[in-house]
């Protein structure tokens, strides 16, 4: 039996899309996907919507952000049709998951576009990201420990198979922690101490679950936060391509926390690999990253170019009928 658009699981490639509604960015990725092969990027579209910053005092996403989201989804629908995509999977993470009016946002989007958004749980995020990392590094790497810092949440997963033995999500995203704890630009020492204390208490509560799963052969990081931190620490620029090895050591990260916390957001935006849109939350991201590496005794994180979006695509390809 053939899948959507007439492509069979073992036949011709399919052009699939994923539209990821995150806390920082709304991102459409179109790929040519073929069962048993790596998905090849075909086109992309993104917008720095920052849903989590469009919250009313009672925790609801405001009308302006919903209207902009609907506009982007319509643009994404048109691009997907123009590029010949046979299927687009639309999902949201913590920004809509945690919003007080999340269900209303989903309804408004569906009424305006006909699109049903799949709201992923934090654990599902961790599992999908883990799948992408496993496929990237392969079986020979043994047990993987995967760390992902988004705008709203932190995901941790560990395992030896494609399904992790343990998958955890914590509300410790870089954007969320910046808004909740950091005061001033640069942030004050008191607010940094408050952030560090909060983050470490949250992570310490789950370290036992992660460590009992077994010692990892390799620890891997995904997400824009880690890519920026690794770049500042001297890793290869994006122009070197996705296959260049990039990593971040705990000693480099500890130095970065001190350096970044003394800079304004404008000064951080001038560092290599740092975008002005994310410079404001980079300190919090570094504090969370340092806490994870310290409490889980990670000496080095290897940066993986695949993450949640690729995991969603791979999961879908695995379930196509034969």
Residue 169 and residue 286 in one domain: yes
Please give the tally of structural domains in the chain.
2
Q: What is the pLDDT at residue 33?
A: 86
* Burial of residue 308, with CB atoms counted within 10 A of its CB: 0-12 exposed, 13-18 middle, 19 or more buried: buried
- Which pLDDT band holds residue 11 (cuts at 50, 70, 90)? low
3-class secondary-structure state, position 9: coil
Query: For the segment 23-54, what is each residue's pLDDT rounded down to a tens digit?
Result: 999 999 999 988 778 899 999 999 999 888 89
Taking residues 144-159, report their average pLDDT.
Answer: 97
CA–CA separation, 49 and 80 (whole Å):
20
Angle CA 317–318–322, to nearest 5:
90
- Which pLDDT band holds residue 322 (cuts at 50, 70, 90)? low
Residue 82 and residue 197 in one domain: no
Q: What is the pLDDT at residue 14?
A: 87
CA–CA separation, 224 and 273 (whole Å):
10
Q: End of a domain among 68, 92, 119?
A: 119
pLDDT cut 70: percent of the chain above it: 96
Residue 298 and residue 153 in one domain: yes
pLDDT cut 90: percent of the chain above it: 88
Residue 132 and residue 111 in one domain: no
CB contact burial 195-224 (16+ within 10 A = b; e otherwise): bbebbbebbeebbeebbebeebebbbbbbb
Residue 113 forms part of a structural domain: yes
Residue 172 and residue 283 in one domain: yes
Taking residues 93-105, report their average pLDDT.
Answer: 95
3-class secondary-structure state, position 303: strand
Residue 51 and residue 195 in one domain: no
Is residue 321's pLDDT more than 80? no
Q: What is the pLDDT at residue 34?
A: 81
Look up the CATH number of the domain holding residue 39: 3.30.420.40
CA distances from 112 to 22, 38, 60, 174 (A): 20, 34, 19, 31
Residue 50 and residue 132 in one domain: no
Residue 153 forms part of a structural domain: yes
Query: For the segment 199-236, what is each residue's pLDDT rounded down to a tens digit?
Result: 999 999 999 999 999 999 999 999 999 999 999 999 99
Taking residues 69-89, report their average pLDDT.
Answer: 96
Query: For the segment 237-286, what is each residue's pLDDT rounded down to a tens digit?
Result: 999 999 999 999 999 999 999 999 999 999 999 999 999 889 999 999 99
pLDDT, the chain, mean: 93
Q: Pairing state of beta strands 218-222 and 300-303?
A: parallel
Q: Which of 14, 17, 37, 39 is nearest to 27 (CA)?
A: 17
Enter the tokens of residue 130. Answer: 């883990």
Q: What is the pLDDT at residue 2?
A: 31
CA–CA separation, 45 and 27 (whole Å):
6
Q: End of a domain among 119, 151, 182?
A: 119
Residue 61 forms part of a structural domain: yes
CA–CA separation, 280 and 270 (whole Å):
12
Residue 88 and residue 184 in one domain: no
Q: What is the pLDDT at residue 36?
A: 77
Residue 314 forms part of a structural domain: no
Enter the tokens of residue 223. Answer: 């997400």
DSSP 8-class letter at 136:
H
Q: Which range marks the domain in which residue 55 is found?
A: 4-119
CA–CA separation, 10 and 322 (whole Å):
7
Q: End of a domain among 88, 119, 150?
A: 119
Residue 320 forms part of a structural domain: no
Residue 213 and residue 178 in one domain: yes
């Amino acid at each position: 039996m053939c899948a959507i658009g007439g492509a069979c699981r073992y036949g011709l490639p399919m052009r699939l899309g994923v539209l990821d509604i995150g806390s920082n960015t709304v991102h459409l990725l179109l790929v040519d996907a073929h069962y048993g092969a790596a998905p090849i990027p075909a086109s992309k579209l993104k917008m720095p919507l920052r849903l989590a910053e469009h919250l009313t005092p009672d925790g609801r996403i405001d009308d302006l952000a919903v209207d902009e989201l609907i506009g982007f989804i319509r643009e994404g629908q048109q691009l997907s049709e123009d590029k010949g995509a046979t299927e687009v999977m639309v999902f949201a993470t913590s920004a809509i998951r945690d919003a007080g009016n999340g269900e209303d946002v989903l309804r408004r989007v569906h009424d305006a576009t006909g699109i049903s958004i799949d709201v992923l749980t934090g654990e599902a995020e961790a599992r999908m990201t883990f799948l992408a990392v496993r496929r990237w590094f392969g079986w020979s790497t043994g047990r993987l420990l995967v760390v992902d810092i988004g705008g709203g949440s932190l995901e941790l997963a560990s395992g030896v198979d494609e399904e992790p033995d343990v998958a955890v999500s914590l509300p410790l995203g870089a954007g969320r922690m910046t808004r909740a704890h950091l005061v001033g630009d640069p942030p004050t020492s008191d607010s940094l101490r408050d952030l560090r204390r909060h983050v470490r208490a949250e992570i310490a509560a789950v370290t036992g679950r992660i460590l009992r799963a077994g010692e990892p052969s390799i620890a891997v990081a995904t997400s824009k936060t880690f890519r920026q931190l690794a770049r500042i620490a001297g890793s290869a620029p994006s122009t070197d391509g996705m296959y260049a090895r990039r990593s971040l050591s705990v000693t480099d990260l500890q130095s970065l926390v001190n350096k970044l916390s003394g800079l304004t957001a404008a000064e951080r935006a001038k560092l290599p690999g740092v975008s002005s849109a994310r410079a404001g939350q980079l300190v919090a991201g570094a504090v969370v990253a340092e806490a994870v590496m310290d409490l889980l005794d990670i000496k080095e994180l290897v940066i993986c170019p695949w993450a949640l979006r690729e995991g969603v695509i791979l999961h879908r390809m695995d379930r196509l009928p034969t």
